[in-house]
């Protein structure tokens, strides 16, 4: 495993975990955003669970390339969905940027996982 992959996977894992915890604790700003995007209330813990599973998969991926690649692919798809949701809601760039940055981070991690 190369250093770039470790750095990107660790950063993505930490951010995905923090995002999941914000959903599980129902942080006001997160819930307001998800409401505005039309995410039903029942889906909030599901989304948090997907992020947490992705982060866990990145950790397991240290020892198992297929698991790490699957986790990075899953988080790439997850954050692509977030970008699409923000675009469909006609959000401004400042509201789309965090999801777009996380999508790019996940995509980079996925490419690095495939290259190892």
Q: What gap in Å lies between CA 91 and CA 104, rounded to an integer?
A: 18
Query: Is residue 1 pLDDT above 90, yes or no?
Result: no
Query: Is residue 7 pLDDT above 80, yes or no?
Result: yes
> Do 12 and 106 contact (CB within 8 A), yes or no?
yes
One-character DSSP codes across 27-94: -HHHHHHHHHTT--TTHHHHHHHHHHHHHHHHHHTTT-HHHHHHHHHHHHHHHHHHHHHHHHTT--HH
Tens of pLDDT, residue by residue over 41-99, are 999 999 999 999 999 999 999 999 999 999 999 999 999 999 999 999 999 999 999 99
Quickly state the pLDDT bin for 25 (edges 50, 70, 90).
very high
Residues 6 or more apart whose CB falls under 8 angstroms from that of 46 comprise: none
> Do 41 and 6 contact (CB within 8 A), yes or no?
no
Q: What gap in Å lies between CA 44 and CA 40, rounded to an integer?
A: 7
Q: How many CA atoms lie within 13 A of 97 on its CB side?
A: 4
Look at 1-5, 12-16, 103-107 and tell me which has the smallest mean pLDDT: 1-5
> Do 68 and 57 contact (CB within 8 A), yes or no?
yes
Query: Is residue 32 pLDDT above 80, yes or no?
Result: yes
């Amino acid at each position: 495993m190369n250093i770039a992959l470790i750095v990107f996977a660790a950063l993505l894992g930490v951010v995905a975990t923090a995002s999941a915890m914000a959903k599980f604790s129902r942080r006001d700003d997160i819930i307001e955003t998800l409401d505005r995007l039309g995410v039903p209330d029942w889906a909030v813990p599901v989304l948090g669970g997907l992020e947490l599973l992705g982060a866990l998969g990145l950790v397991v991926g240290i020892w198992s390339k297929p698991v790490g690649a699957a986790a990075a692919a899953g988080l790439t798809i997850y954050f692509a969905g977030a970008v699409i949701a923000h675009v469909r809601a006609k959000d401004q760039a400042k509201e789309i940027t965090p999801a777009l940055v996380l999508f790019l981070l996940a995509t980079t991690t996925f490419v690095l996982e495939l290259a190892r």
